[in-house]
Structure 1
Amino acid sequence: MNRAVTKFRNSAFSAYLKRNQKYAPITFFIGGFIFDSLTLGRIDRAYDLTMLCIHMTSLTFTIYAFNLVGDGRWHGTFLKRFEPYFPLAIQFFFGALSSAYVIYFSRSVSLTKTVSFFTILVILFVANEFLKRRISNKYLQFSVYSFISFTFFTFMVPVWIKYMNTYVFILSGLISVGCTLALIWKVYRASAQTRKEVHLGKLLSLVIGIYALINVFYFFNLIPPVPLALNSGLVAHQVKYENDKYAVLYEKDEWYVFWRTHRLKLLWRPTENVYVFTSIFAPTNLEKSIFHRWKWYNPKIESWEVVEDIGIKIRGGRADGYRGYTYKHWVRPGQWEVEVITEEGLVLGVVDFEIVRTRETGSRSTAVKVF
Structure 2
Amino acid sequence: MVWMKRLYTLYKQYERFFIPAFLVGGFAVDVLTFRSVQTRTVFIVLSAYAIFAGAAILFLHNPRIYPRLETSKPLRILRTITPPALQFFFGALLSASLVFYWFSGAFSVSWPFILLIATLACGNEAFRREYLRPIVQLPIYFFTLFSLSTLIFPFVFKSISLWIFYGSGVFALAVMLAYLRDFNRFNNVKMHQRKYLTISILAIFAAMNALYFFRILPPIPLSIREAGVYHNVVHTGEDYVLTSEREHFFERLIPGQTIHIAGQQTLYVWSAVFAPSDLNTDIYNRWEIYDKGARKWKERGRFSYRLSGGRKEGYRGYSYKTAIEPGRWRVSLETQRGQVLGRVKFRVEMIEAKVLMIPI
How high is the TM-score relative to the length of structure 2? 0.91
Matching residue within 126, 130, 133 for 1:130: 126
* Structure 2 residue matching 1:30: 3-state secondary structure: helix
Aligned to 2:102: 106
User: Which aligned pairs between 1:68-147 and structure 2 lie closer than 5 A?
Assistant: 68=62, 70-72=63-65, 75=68, 81-147=77-143
* More divergent stretch after superposition (81-90 vs 341-350): 81-90
Q: CA offset at residue 291 of structure 1? A: 0.4
Q: Which runs of 4+ in 1 moved over 6 A?
A: none
Matching residue within 298, 321, 333 for 2:291: 298
* Structure 1 residue matching 2:337: 3-state secondary structure: coil
Q: CA offset at residue 11 of structure 1? A: 8.0
Cα deviation, 1:224-267, whole Å, max 9, x if unaligned, reads 1111112221110011222311121223544235657x961111
Cα deviation, 1:138-169, whole Å, max 9, x if unaligned, reads 22111111211111111010011111111111
Mapped contact 1:335–1:354 kept (Cα < 8 A): yes
Q: Which amino acid aligns with 1:337?
A: R
Compare the two structures and name the one with the higher helix fraction: 2
Cα deviation, 1:118-137, whole Å, max 9, x if unaligned, reads 11111122222234312332
Aligned to 2:43: 49
Aligned to 1:3: none
Aligned to 2:274: 281
Aligned to 2:265: 272
The 3 A distance-change label for structure 1 pair 40 and 220 is: same
Do structure 1's residue 339 and structure 2's residue 339 form an aligned pair?
Answer: no
Mapped contact 1:25–1:91 kept (Cα < 8 A): yes
Q: CA offset at residue 13 of structure 1? A: 5.6
Do structure 1's residue 324 and structure 2's residue 317 form an aligned pair?
Answer: yes
Aligned to 1:248: 242
Mapped contact 1:87–1:132 kept (Cα < 8 A): no
How high is the TM-score relative to the length of structure 1? 0.88
* More divergent stretch after superposition (299-308 vs 110-119): 299-308
Mapped contact 2:259–2:347 kept (Cα < 8 A): yes
The 3 A distance-change label for structure 1 pair 42 and 101 is: farther
Cα deviation, 1:306-359, whole Å, max 9, x if unaligned, reads 222111111222222111111112222222111111011111111111221223
Q: Percent identity?
A: 25
Q: CA offset at residue 28 of structure 1? A: 0.7
Matching residue within 203, 207, 216 for 2:201: 207
Aligned to 1:307: 300
Aligned to 2:350: 357
* Structure 2 residue matching 1:314: 3-state secondary structure: strand
Counting matched residue pairs gives 357
Listed as ranges, the gaps of 5+ residues in structure 1 are: 1-5
Matching residue within 20, 23, 39 for 2:33: 39
